[in-house]
């Protein structure tokens, strides 16, 4: 790669998941580096833009679409999903029902959106509010890895918008997969991928980039 | 029908009277004659085919892939095998300057950028052919002809050709250009060889003007369709802002007190006019809003208003009692499933046995005090739950009636109406009322709310007597286990629905306008109660995000949960259509689209070009929340 030839990417990313799981908080934390307990319910969709200096040659602009958790209006999500390059699906570790909804969101996403190369969009699963209380589901890292594999997530992270845990890492993981799938649509294998460890600590880095 | 018919259509869309040909090659002869006559400059498109031994035949090709965008539109009869559309084209005169310029000059009234001649021309042609196809399909007499041929001269090409041919004095030019229908027979007989140049110039002028006119007409027709659509939405009786007096000041305290002194001679429209043009003065909003929203009606006497308040208070209490009772069960169920999950993870014991333990504990609790046995004759079917046979056993001996009661998923939950009576008792001191009935051994399976309604007497529940939360909670905690035993039953589906809705409401209530000073914990609780009450009465729609936003201003202004409940119910009669189960949102989008198309067509075009955002989904929040945020 030549240094003088700086590349710029613009990616539309979706942030979806049940209502109240912290989608807006994650985005505000990621984009504005702060947390407030005062966000209101999102109606319809909100937007945010994040600029990443990916490496010396690449600038990545992320257009984050914060989609209301209870978006039930007809064709609207289909339109919102259009031309997205990746997605975060968020659930709340303190509420198992939001985890059960994850598969529904994933199915909805995959049924309405397919990449130009015919593959589903890369999606990262975010187990948000990991700073709060015990989480029955999270005690078993291997199980989550398996869940991701079965449901086609490229990875999963325990995040906390409040404590700023793992949000940047999750984003980097997703962007990495987007770039990989863009530059090499046929072969989606990445050699430098971080493998999950069975004895995964509470805060893992890209724990589920298991594709190798 | 054995006759063949030829219909000539001039390029301005005017359709000529049909020419009828007898069977047997006459039409073909006519066409081949025409084709020959047009040579060398003009030709028929598609050309006639030559076939050995037969001479000219009709072309077999059906699909014409001309570069002109008009083709699809002008081929309404393409599917039927006997209809042909021919055009007269002049390949050598694609860009005749004089004529094209004239044309653009006229068309420039619509579009200022005419730098791309081709494109502009195509646009106009598309418009013209739209008119053509309309004209062609309209008359019924066209339908039964076995053969229909349309001759269309095209645009500038024909005109330039016409010009040249006229000077040469050898053509059949007016076939498609005659200004009156009577020109056609003469033209087709080709007896006008030496048409004076002046006449042709006149004709050309007319054509240019008519084309520009038709293009403009098409545009206007489209806009008028949109305008008609929009005007249907507008109230045409215009209320003036300045008569009888200027309404700019809105509904002020003075005007309002004047109304209150003289309700008999009130003028509702005048009040509404003031509100419409100037709003309501803040101090009197609390009084005025219930009128505007339909809680009170204008002209009501004080007594009537009191009656309305009393009725609402009663209803609010009833609804509150209903869903609070259900909430108890939902909470209990959640606790069970949570502990079951925990148990499963910690000790590996099955959910079933765990839950069963809980249940067996339930039945051992003495509940004879709190089991208010409602009127024996009020045994009713639970409209929400599934019907179950009435229990005839004494309350203390009640057992779980479902054989598989150990499974949370298949169990029907029950609630004691005793909870309700005790809630009530705490408030009104009507404990005796229930106590008298406790001796009865019959357990009526009654929906708690229905029972409440029957038992509640006006005056027992004062509007200001809202149920004390702490009291309720403490009682509720105590009766949790009792609750599962008797009185009303809820289906699992209902409980699931309620649990889901309660959860959504809790999520949204907590974060509803929480930066606003009014929403303290106490007032948020009120907000929640009103919202839950409304949703309980509309479980088929359920809670949808945005409802809290609509309720919040009512709470702030009215500062009374019963009044807010009533006003919100009235407001939602209108607004609920915007929520996913109603159909109004699509209408809003369509209206917005029309509006922008008319008011700012440039913006509309821009939106259309940049990925087509003319679905106007970005207006969703505005419409849903009535422009609150």
| DSSP labels, A20-74 | TSSHHHHHHHHHHS---TTPPPP-SEEEEEEEEEEETTEEEEEEEEEE-TT---T
Q: Strand B55-57 relative to strand B83-89: parallel, antiparallel, unpaired?
A: unpaired
Cβ burial of A108 (10 Å; 0-12, 13-18, 19+) is middle
Contact state of B507 with A74 under an 8 Å Cβ cutoff: no
Find out if CATH 3.30.413.10 is the number for domain B1-58+82-89.
Answer: no
Give the tens place of pLDDT for each residue, A56-89. 888 999 999 999 888 766 678 888 898 899 999 9
pTM exceeds 0.80 for this model: no
Does A122 score more than 90 pLDDT?
yes
| DSSP labels, B414-466 | EE-HHHHHHHHHHHH--HHHHHHHTT--------HHHHHHHH--BTTB-TT-P
Q: What is the pLDDT of residue B569?
A: 95
- State what percent of residues in chain A have pLDDT above 90: 46
Tell me the mean pLDDT in the region A119-133.
Answer: 89
Q: Identify the contact set of chain B against chain A, taking CB-CB distances under 8 A.
A: 341-342, 345, 503-504, 507-508, 511-515, 544-546, 548-549, 580, 585-586, 611, 615, 617-618, 620-621, 624-625, 629
CA-based nearest distance A12→chain B, Å: 14
Contact state of A72 with B514 under an 8 Å Cβ cutoff: no
Neighbours of B172 (CB within 10 A): 19
Contact state of B341 with A136 under an 8 Å Cβ cutoff: yes
Q: How many CA atoms lie within 13 A of B224 on its CB side?
A: 6
CA angle B448, B451, B454 (to 5 degrees): 155
Mean pLDDT for each 10-residue chunk of chain B (629 residues)?
Answer: 72 74 74 75 74 66 39 33 70 41 28 40 43 35 35 40 39 38 39 66 80 75 81 82 85 89 81 91 93 91 92 94 92 81 52 40 33 36 40 38 38 42 40 40 40 39 44 48 52 89 90 87 93 94 91 94 94 90 86 87 85 86 90
CA-based nearest distance A119→chain B, Å: 22
Contact state of A43 with B617 under an 8 Å Cβ cutoff: no
DSSP structural state of residue B395: G
Record the tokens describing residue B46, joined without a space: 């598609």
Cβ burial of B388 (10 Å; 0-12, 13-18, 19+) is middle
Q: What is the pLDDT of residue A78?
A: 87
Name the residue of chain A whose CA is nearest to B514's CA: A38
Identify all chain A residues contacting B508, using CB atoms and an 8 Å cutoff. 19-20, 41
Using CA atoms, how far apart are residues A162 and B63, in angstroms rounded to an integer? Answer: 64
Does A138 score more than 70 pLDDT?
no
Per-residue CA distances from B311 to B62, B170, B320 (Å): 74, 93, 14
Q: Strand A86-92 relative to strand A7-17: parallel, antiparallel, unpaired?
A: parallel
Contact state of B345 with A76 under an 8 Å Cβ cutoff: no
Contact state of A80 with B514 under an 8 Å Cβ cutoff: no
B40 cis-preceded (ω within 30 degrees of 0): yes
CA-based nearest distance B527→chain A, Å: 15
CA-based nearest distance A76→chain B, Å: 7
Extents of the domains making up chain B: 1-58+82-89, 205-233, 300-340+473-575, 583-628
Using CA atoms, how far apart are residues B379 and B398, in angstroms rounded to an integer? Answer: 17
Interhelix angle B302-346/B417-428, nearest 10 degrees: 130
Contact state of B580 with A43 under an 8 Å Cβ cutoff: no
pLDDT band per the 50, 70, 90 thresholds, residue A173: very high
- Residue carrying the six token digits 């000059």: B105
Q: What is the pLDDT of residue B394?
A: 38
ipTM surpassing 0.95: no
Q: What is the pLDDT of residue B229?
A: 80
Identify all chain B residues contacting A83, using CB atoms and an 8 Å cutoff. 611
Question: What's A7-183's CATH class?
Answer: alpha beta
| DSSP labels, B223-291 | HHHHHHHHHTTS--SPPPSSSSS--TT-B-HHHHHHHHHT-TT--HHHHHHHHHHH-B-GGGHHHHHHH
Identify all chain A residues contacting B547, using CB atoms and an 8 Å cutoff. none
Neighbours of B582 (CB within 10 A): 14
Neighbours of A188 (CB within 10 A): 14
E strand or H helix at A14: strand A7-17
Identify all chain A residues contacting B625, using CB atoms and an 8 Å cutoff. 43
Using CA atoms, how far apart are residues B173 and B190, in angstroms rounded to an integer? Answer: 9
Contact A158, A203 (CB under 8 A): yes
Neighbours of B269 (CB within 10 A): 11
3-class DSSP state of B351: helix
Q: Identify the contact set of chain A against chain B, taking CB-CB distances under 8 A.
A: 19-20, 38-45, 68-70, 72-76, 79-80, 83, 96-97, 136, 139
Q: Which of A38, A43, A70 sits opposite B621 (nearest CB)?
A: A43
Using CA atoms, how far apart are residues B251 and B229, in angstroms rounded to an integer? Answer: 33
Identify all chain B residues contacting A41, using CB atoms and an 8 Å cutoff. 507-508, 511-512, 545-546, 548-549
Name the residue of chain A whose CA is nearest to B544's CA: A70
Using CA atoms, how far apart are residues A156 and A209, in angstroms rounded to an integer? Answer: 8
Closest CA to B157 of B70, B67, B89: B89
Using CA atoms, how far apart are residues B274 and A145, in angstroms rounded to an integer? Answer: 64
């Amino acid at each position: 790669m030549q240094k003088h030839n700086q590349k710029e990417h613009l990616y539309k990313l979706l942030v979806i998941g049940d209502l109240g799981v912290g989608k807006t908080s994650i985005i505000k934390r990621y984009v504005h580096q702060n947390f407030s307990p005062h966000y209101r319910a999102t109606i319809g969709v909100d937007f945010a833009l994040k600029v990443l200096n990916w490496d010396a040659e690449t600038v990545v602009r992320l257009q984050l679409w914060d989609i209301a958790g209870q978006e039930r209006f007809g064709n609207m999500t289909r339109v919102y999903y259009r031309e997205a390059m990746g997605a975060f699906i968020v659930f709340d570790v303190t509420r198992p029902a939001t985890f059960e909804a994850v598969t529904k969101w994933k199915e909805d996403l995959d049924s309405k959106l397919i990449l130009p190369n015919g593959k589903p969009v890369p999606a990262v699963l975010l187990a948000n509010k990991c700073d709060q209380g015990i989480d029955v589901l999270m005690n078993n890292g291997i199980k989550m890895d398996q869940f991701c594999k079965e449901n086609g997530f490229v990875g999963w992270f325990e995040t906390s918008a409040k404590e700023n845990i793992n949000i940047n890492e999750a984003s980097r993981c997703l962007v990495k997969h987007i770039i990989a799938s863009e530059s090499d649509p046929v072969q989606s294998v990445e050699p430098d991928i971080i493998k999950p460890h069975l004895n995964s600590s509470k805060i893992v880095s890209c724990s589920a980039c298991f594709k190798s | 029908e054995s006759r063949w018919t030829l219909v000539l259509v001039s390029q301005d869309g005017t359709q000529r009277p049909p020419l009828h040909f007898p069977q047997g090659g006459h039409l073909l002869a006519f066409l081949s004659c025409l084709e020959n006559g047009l040579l060398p400059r003009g030709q028929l498109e598609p050309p006639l085919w030559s076939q050995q031994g037969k001479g000219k035949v009709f072309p077999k090709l059906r699909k014409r892939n001309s570069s002109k965008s008009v083709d699809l539109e002008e081929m309404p009869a393409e599917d039927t095998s006997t209809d042909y559309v021919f055009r007269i084209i002049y390949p050598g005169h694609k860009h005749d300057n004089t004529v094209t310029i004239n044309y653009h000059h006229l068309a420039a009234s619509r579009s200022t950028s005419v730098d791309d001649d081709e494109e502009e021309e195509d646009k106009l042609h598309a418009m013209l052919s739209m008119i053509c196809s309309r004209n062609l399909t309209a008359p019924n007499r066209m339908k039964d002809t076995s053969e229909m041929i349309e001759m269309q001269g095209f645009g500038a090409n024909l005109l330039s050709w016409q010009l040249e041919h006229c000077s040469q004095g050898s053509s059949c030019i007016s076939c498609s250009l005659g200004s009156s229908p009577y020109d056609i027979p003469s033209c087709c007989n080709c007896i006008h060889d030496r048409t004076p140049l002046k006449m042709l110039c006149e004709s050309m002028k007319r054509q240019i003007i008519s084309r520009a006119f038709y293009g403009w007409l098409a545009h206007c027709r489209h806009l008028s369709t949109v305008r008609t659509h929009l005007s249907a939405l507008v109230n045409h009786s215009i209320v003036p802002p300045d008569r009888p007096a200027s309404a700019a000041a809105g509904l002020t305290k003075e005007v309002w007190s004047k109304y209150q002194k003289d309700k008999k001679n009130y003028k509702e429209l005048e009040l509404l006019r003031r509100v419409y043009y100037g709003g309501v003065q803040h101090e009197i909003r609390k009084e005025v809003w219930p009128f505007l929203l339909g809680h009170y009606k204008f002209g009501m006497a004080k007594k009537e208003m009191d009656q309305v308040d009393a009725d609402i208070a009663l209803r609010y209490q009833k609804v509150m009692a209903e869903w609070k009772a259900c909430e108890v069960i939902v909470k209990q169920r959640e606790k069970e499933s949570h502990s079951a999950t925990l148990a499963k993870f910690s000790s590996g014991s099955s959910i079933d046995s765990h839950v069963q333990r809980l249940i067996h504990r339930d039945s051992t609790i003495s509940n004879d005090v709190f089991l208010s046995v409602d009127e024996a004759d009020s045994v009713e079917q639970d409209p929400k739950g599934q019907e179950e046979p009435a229990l005839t056993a004494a309350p203390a001996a009640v057992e779980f009636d479902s054989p598989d009661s150990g499974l949370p998923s298949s169990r029907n939950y029950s609630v004691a109406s005793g909870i309700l009576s005790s809630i009530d008792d705490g408030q009104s001191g009507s404990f005796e009322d229930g106590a008298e009935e406790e001796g009865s051994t019959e357990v009526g399976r009654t929906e708690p709310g229905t029972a409440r309604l029957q038992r509640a007497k006006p005056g027992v529940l004062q509007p200001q007597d809202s149920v004390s939360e702490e009291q309720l909670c403490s009682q509720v905690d105590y009766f949790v286990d009792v609750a599962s035993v008797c009185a009303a039953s809820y289906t699992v589906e209902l409980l699931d629905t309620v649990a889901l809705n309660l959860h959504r409401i809790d999520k949204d209530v907590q974060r509803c306008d929480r930066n606003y000073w009014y929403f303290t914990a106490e007032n948020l609780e009120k907000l929640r109660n009103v919202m839950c009450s409304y949703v309980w009465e509309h479980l088929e729609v359920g809670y949808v995000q945005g409802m809290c936003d609509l309720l919040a201003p009512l709470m702030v202004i009215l500062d009374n949960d019963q009044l807010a409940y009533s006003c919100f119910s009235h407001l939602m009669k209108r607004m609920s259509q915007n929520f996913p189960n109603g159909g109004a949102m699509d209408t809003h989008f369509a209206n917005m689209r029309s509006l922008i198309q008319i008011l700012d067509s440039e913006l509309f075009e821009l939106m259309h070009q940049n990925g087509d955002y003319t679905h106007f989904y970005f207006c969703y929040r505005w419409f849903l929340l009535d422009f609150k945020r």
